[in-house]
Amino acid sequence: MITRSKLVEQLRDYQIRSQHKCPALTVFSPTPLLSTWFDVAVAIFWAFLFTVLLVSSYVTLYLKHYWISFGIMFLAILIPYILRISRQSIARKRDRRLLLPLSM
């Protein structure tokens, strides 16, 4: 007999198997899972922007513009933090959706 817990377990196994694994890009992804190529492209964009901000921060530090370098570094640190918060909120919404009873 198929029970609700077996169905939920099968669904989670399927989701884990079907996800694309790019552990380096998940830091820069606004979604918890990189399921589509669009998610991968967005993560690459955020990673590129983070790298550009870090390099420009080092250049301005080299040119002895300390406050500008501090501001750019602050923005570079803020990007992964905001993306982490968005991933957590999306994961909470998804978990709340999974707690609803399954209709057969």
Average pLDDT for 4-13: 77
Three-state SS at 3: coil
Q: Specify whether the CB–CB gap between 14 and 6 falls below 8 A.
A: no
Report whether pLDDT(102) > 90: no
Q: How far apart are CA 57 and CA 93, in angstroms?
A: 36
**pLDDT, tens digit, 9 for 90 and up, residues 17-73:** 665 566 777 788 887 777 778 888 888 999 999 999 999 999 999 999 999 999 999
* 25 is a domain residue: no
| Domain count for the chain | 1
* 13 is a domain residue: no
* 47 is a domain residue: yes
pLDDT score for 100: 62
* 6 is a domain residue: no
Report whether pLDDT(101) > 70: no
Three-state SS at 20: strand
Q: How far apart are CA 49 and CA 65, in angstroms?
A: 21
pLDDT score for 25: 75
* 23 is a domain residue: no
Q: Whole domain around residue 61: which residue ranges?
A: 35-104
Does the pTM surpass 0.85? The reply is no
pLDDT score for 22: 64
